Structure 1
Amino acid sequence: MSLQHFSHQHPLVFIASHGHEIEKVNCSACGELVSGSSFGCVECGFYLHKQCVEAPAEMNHPFHRNHNLNLFTRNPYLAGTIICDFSRKTCENFVYHYSCNLDFHIKCALFSHSIAEKKNVEFQDISRIDPSINTGNVTEELKKAECFACRKPLLDSIYFSPNCGFYLHAKCVDLPAEINHLFHQEHPLFLQFNSQRLSCKICQKPQGPEFVYCCSPCKFALHIQCATIPTKINQPFHRKHPLILQSVDECLPCQICQETTNLNDFVYFCSICKFVLHIRCVSSPLIIEDKLHHEHSFTLFPRQVLYCDACGTLGNYVPYICSTCGIFVHKNCISVPRVIKFYRHQHRIPHTYFLDQNESEPWECRFCLEEVNTEHGSYFCSKCNYIVHVKCATKNSRWYYEVDSTETEEATDSDEPVDLREIHPHNLILSGDIRDFKQCHGCLLPIDTSYCYCSQCDFFLHKACAALRAKKHIWFHYCQKLLKLTSGCIFQCCMCKYFTSGFAYTCDKCKERFCLRCSLLSDMPKCEGHEHRLRRFTGESKELCRGCGTSVHAFICKPCNFNLDWNCITLPLKTQHSFDVHLLNSLITLMITIIQEVIIVIFVKRKGIPNIGFIIV
């Protein structure tokens, strides 16, 4: 018996079984080893399984109702490889394809078609494996494997043995082909390959070509899991009303994880009480253990409480409780780091539930400037009486990193002053003679106190600038590495944006440079003429600077409503005007200014920096 197959120019002869001499030939359609009966052209070495010969040239697939799939004997694309949308493996042989970019290996197309038609003959002789019972033969491949239908981990539930060549949950084989859903009452939803890559309307996550329940004309799709979750639930921690699965046009915090929902997200919602639960949080674990951050386990508490004891945040939420310590915490606060290094402070800061201080005055967070409720947790440095809210310290992952509390703390600043021989080749002499105008080469400010000078050249340093630390922690520098004192180049300060030729504190890691005026500024500076210290405010609102009138993030004094921006707070108390009545000082100042301007203009032009109207300091 022979037949003419469209994939080959010669008639194919029926072969009942393969002898030993040709037992290792592969099927030209599916690429697998030929066994049992087949059709072949011995002359060309072309063989097809009987099942592959019977595969239709055009398939009306129940899981793809939009159009028929055509069988190609070679890559239908001009370039690149084909990835099967069912098995996610490379297709090197026959492939079912349509212009919607849906591709199936011939074996995958036939196998999934039989599932769709409920002709599950393939599964009758295949054992179902329960991963909770059969744990002895779990390979690394099975641990990583996904169900070909739902794309969830294979070992989540009972599955079919992979001897059939496909990984499938037993429950996915029995999925109904058609459902009606409350969220799309116009049409039924069909179990389909997601060839249009539609996002799930409930969880909003973008999807690949795996199975979804879909209405193609309306471009409405639901995950298999999302399509089967209940639309109404009752929860012990919200007994007043049922929670309804719906889209919410407000951004509200989930009562378990405290993460704010996105606009129009589907959540479980009580519109009367504004009570929100993420879908994923409905199945939150009853017990959580995190020995790294807390020595005891936490249990879900089926009531709402007002405060989180770990972060001190006010607001009704469903907590986890440590019955040993008697604390209620947010689910996310179970993993609050015990010790952190916060970029605003030079020391490590431990998390604490108790302040070993006898202060009667309220504590103010050094970041947001709001009061810290010391009845609950906070980050506190006992060396400096530095306190910060947990939420403020951990708001941005760039601002902090977790520290092992058992490790020895490194030095925060270098105790050694800079070696002046690295700054200037000659010895410097200390002097108190300030009759003539002199300018410090470190901070570039006029000298009106004791200073060091070089007798061989015009090089002057304030006494304080000559004693600067060789390495220093800069409180506003995210990198949190110690910065090294450097000199000898023209640079733009990364904080104030001024060009300068003075000393800089430089980060070896990120190469940022900061001028002395910015580097030496405290995070709580004292402004002459104002009785209180100012604090750096980094909230969402902006304050009006009392110096220049600009609306910016500023240093503020809340009791006095007094604000100064960065450039105004770093202005020197004294300076030399170019038209000062003292002619010699005026001429010297004018000459220095002109020389500096010429040097910096040459530097800017060579570097190709655009003219931004920089200021010489």
Structure 2
Amino acid sequence: MDGGNPRCPLSHPTNPHTLSKSGQITKFGCFTCGKKAPLSKRDRRFSYYCITCDVSFHKGCHIFPRKLTHPYHLQHPLTFTFPDYESGITSDSFDYETYRTAVKCHSQFIITYSLKKPGSIECSWCGKNIEDDCFYRCSICNFYLDLSCSQSIPLLLVANPKSHQHPLVFYRRPLLTPCDACGLVNVLDPSYACFQCNYMVHQSCIDLPRVIKITRHRHRLSHIPCVQSPVSPCGVCYQKVENKYGLYSCNRYEDHSYVVHSKCATHENIWDGKELEWEPEEPENIEDILPFKKVGTDMIKYFSHEHNLKLEKYDAVRDAEKLCQACVCPINSRDFYNCIHCDFFLHEVCAGLLRKLDHALHKHTLILDPYPRDSYYLLDCPICSRGSTGFRYICSISNCNSHRIGIDIRCILVPDHFTHESHEHPLFISTSFKAEIRCQGCQKECMQSYLQCTICIFIMCYKCATIPTEVSYKHDKHPLSLCYGEKADDTYWCELCEKEVNPRNWFYTCNICCITIHLHCIFGSSSYMKPGSIFDYNYSKLEVLRNSNSTRPQCTRCGDRCPGYIYFKRKRDKHPVTFSCSVQCLEGG
């Protein structure tokens, strides 16, 4: 048998025939679906033909039998069916002899049935709309099975399941009651039963790992079938956990003070996929994660800097040129570490960031990366979408898709239980990846992770959650406070751009001096870019420069004078130097 060509489905396994590629379907039509024309434009390239049997198949139809006895519907055989929405009928496939005889005598040989409107046919097993060109159908029961479900053949018996002490038998109906292993109702998941124990379990829950580690908790978790008393909410979704179903519980606490739903704990965005039942626990070594060592009174040796740093007390003197190397924010409100040999500053809080940590925003351990990026396209944080030249946390697994994409330290510093002044209830980290989730702060679509309230419908993106509640403004001796919108119809004007401020949006204000300023006028589009940074950008060098009041360059893109405290200078071989006042003008040009 030729290994390069598929076997003809009509041939016997002991004497197989191979199919060869053909440019067109023969006059008899496709043997499986009965249609002579291609099923779709992508199938016009070739079909399959069996010389021995003298039959043709569409590409794709050759892998599906005409009649199918499937565990999802053992009462009757299922017939491969091709829908014709234009004529409003379905055409069941037919046996080989009828097929050849009918064509020769030019008689009608296709059995027809009424058909619903396009897209209204649902798979009787998974409940999804059938989008395929063909499907399987039982004409007696009007049972429909899409091609994806038809290829899923579950085992009829699981002899030694991990989750139960007895063999499990395939349950031939969608499970409409909660699964004993996860507590969820999911009719899309095939189920198994132990009738001796009245135990029902999803196919995907049979082999749930017994011991795992997730980054939201410092200890390992074990899967247990139930607990005697009510338990705390789930440590991932913060919803109620039913104690009579399977769940994951912390190994260290016998009172089950930390529990997680089975499906939450093993979600692909939460769990790293490693089962730890037989793996010894690694001892925690605090020396490996501390970022500095004390070398004297108020003196430290930071792991990524060559000189010692000295702790300085904030003297209330503003200096816009003193920026923290980690968060790229001014040194103007708290104590900081200063290098006496070079221009290197760290807030005391930022200096204490651990070199390695587990965080709810990623399923693998994260490591602190203090070194500058060499590419402009690696600056954006995947959590808040802001570009920054400061420190970031990257994945410790080199082959992870997120290894080179760094999470901004501002997002890392947001705690699991987050209290924000704009909302009365605590907010929790969510990674549900739902489509079109909008932030109540900026009204924009959230990134892959966001913060949500479990009591009411309130969502906040990380960009809004990490906006400072107070900022300094050079033309006001008082700090500006963040206002979270007002219901009043008063008219406000921005101190910087002199345009109207929508009072329903967030803005900065000084109630003493009656000043209001847009958020984007305070931060701009690149507020966390440190002057002096240089990157590769589209086969050119991009430099971040400080903007002074006396020498404001003209933006090459929009023609305005650069208004922010920094601007971009781009150099390309054999091209004139260009200036950009913002990220929008840089990327738009």
Per-residue deviation, 1:533: 2.0
1:469 pairs, out of 336, 354, 377, with 354
Shift of 1:401: 0.5
What does residue 440 of structure 1 align with? 324
Aligned residue for 1:528?
A: 421
Give per-residue Cα distances to partners, 1:577-613, cap 9 Å, x unaligned. 2434389xxxxx99xx999664247775516999794
Pair 331,601 (structure 1): closer, same or farther in 2 beyond 3 Å: closer
**1:492 lines up with 2:492 in the alignment:** no
Evaluate the alpha carbon distance shift between residue 274 and residue 340 of structure 1 in structure 2; reply closer, same or farther with a 3 A threshold. Answer: farther
- How far apart, in 2, do the equivalents of 1:440 and 1:232 lie? 64
1:313 maps to 184
SS of residue matched to 1:321: strand
For 2:434, the aligned partner's letter is E
Look up the match of 2:367.
Answer: 483
Q: Name the residue aligned to 2:170.
A: 300
Flag structure 1 segments of 5+ consecutive residues without an equivalent. Answer: 1-85, 90-101, 103-145, 160-167, 174-185, 201-205, 237-241, 584-588
State the number of aligned residues.
422
Asked if 1:577 is matched to 2:468, the reply is no
Shift of 1:375: 2.8
Q: Distance in 1 between matches of 2:72 and 2:439?
A: 53
Partner residue of 1:83?
none
Identity score, percent: 22
Amino acid in the other structure paired with 2:309? L
Secondary structure class of the residue paired with 1:400: coil
Structure 2 vs 1, CA of residues 261 and 409 (structure 1 numbering), >3 Å: closer, same or farther? farther
**Which structure's residues are more often helix, by fraction?**
1
State yes or no: 1:511 paired with 2:399: no
Root mean square deviation, CA, Å: 5.2
Give yes or no for the alignment of 1:428 onto 2:309.
yes
1:274–1:227 Cα change, 3 Å: closer
The offset of 1:421, in angstroms, is 3.6
Q: Distance in 1 between matches of 2:392 and 2:72?
A: 62
Judged with a 3 Å threshold, the aligned counterparts in structure 2 of structure 1 residues 322 and 444 are, in CA distance, closer, same or farther, namely same
Q: How far is the alpha carbon of 1:564 from its aligned partner?
A: 1.7
Q: Which residue of 2 aligns with 1:288?
A: 158
Instruction: Report what 2:451 is aligned to.
Output: 555
Distance 1:350-1:413 versus aligned 2 partners, 3 A rule = farther
Q: 1:337 aligns with which of 209, 214, 223?
A: 209
The verdict on how the C-alpha distance between 1:569 and 1:300 changes in structure 2, with shifts beyond 3 A counting, is same
Which amino acid in 2 is paired with 1:417? L
TM-score, length-scaled by structure 1: 0.54
8 Å contact from structure 1 (residues 542, 552) kept in 2: yes
Match of 1:263, as an amino acid?
E
Distance 1:607 1:310, change over 3 A: farther
Aligned-pair CA distance for 1:187: 6.1
> Deviation at 1:309?
1.4
2:161–2:206 CA contact under 8 A, matched in 1: no
CA distance in 2, matches of 1:212, 1:313: 51
Change (3 A) 1:221 1:472: closer
Instruction: Return the alpha-carbon distance in structure 2 between the equivalents of residues 558 and 329 of structure 1.
Output: 28
> Does the CA-based 8 Å contact 2:314-2:335 persist in structure 1?
yes
Q: What amino acid is aligned across from residue 333 of structure 2 in structure 1?
A: D
CA deviation after TM superposition for structure 1 residue 295, in Å: 5.1
Gaps of 5+ in 2: 19-26, 41-45, 84-118, 293-300, 480-521, 544-567, 571-579, 585-589
Deviations 1:4-41 (A, max 9, x none): xxxxxxxxxxxxxxxxxxxxxxxxxxxxxxxxxxxxxx
Q: What is the CA–CA distance in structure 1 between the aligned matches of 2:328 and 2:532, rounded to whole Å?
A: 15
Q: Distance in 2 between matches of 1:318 and 1:329?
A: 9
Q: CA deviation at 1:526?
A: 2.4
Q: Check 1:431–1:214 CA distance in 2 against 1; reply closer, same or farther (3 A cut).
A: farther
CA apart distance, 1:341: 4.3
* Alignment match of 1:606 (pick from 541, 550, 564): 541
The residue number in structure 1 matching 2:564 is none
Closer/same/farther in 2, CA of residues 245 and 467 from structure 1, 3 Å limit: same
Whether the 8 Å CA contact 1:555–1:566 is kept in 2: the answer is yes
Instruction: Find the aligned partners of 1:372 and 1:214 in 2 and give their Cα distance.
Output: 61
- 1:354 partnered with 2:354: no
Note if 1:229 corresponds to 2:68: yes
Q: Is residue 409 of structure 2 the alignment partner of residue 409 of structure 1? A: no
Alignment of 1:78-117 (within 5 A): 87-88=2-3
Q: Distance in 1 between matches of 2:222 and 2:71?
A: 43
Cα contact 2:222–2:249 (8 A) shared by 1 = yes
How big is the shift at 1:557? 1.6
Distance 1:464 1:230, change over 3 A: closer
CA distance in 2 between partners of 1:352 and 1:528 (Å): 39
CA deviation after TM superposition for structure 1 residue 492, in Å: 1.0
Is the Cα–Cα contact under 8 Å of residues 231 and 245 in structure 1 kept in the other structure? no
User: What amino acid is the match of 2:366?
Assistant: L
User: What's the CA shift for 1:338?
Assistant: 2.7
SS in structure 2 of the partner of residue 332 of structure 1: helix
Q: Report the CA distance between 1:381 and its aligned residue.
A: 3.9
Task: Give the aligned partner of residue 266 of structure 1.
Answer: 135
SS of the aligned residue for 2:532 comes to helix
Which has the greater radius of gyration?
A: 1
2:463 maps to: 567
Change in Cα spacing, 1:333 to 1:342, as seen in structure 2 (3 Å) is same
Contact persistence 1:151–1:210 (CA under 8 A): no
Change (3 A) 1:276 1:150: closer
Q: Aligned equivalents of 1:214 and 1:232: distance in 2?
A: 32
Does the CA-based 8 Å contact 1:377-1:390 persist in structure 2?
A: yes
CA distance in 2, matches of 1:323, 1:222: 39
SS in 2 for 1:476: coil
Aligned partner letter, 2:445: S
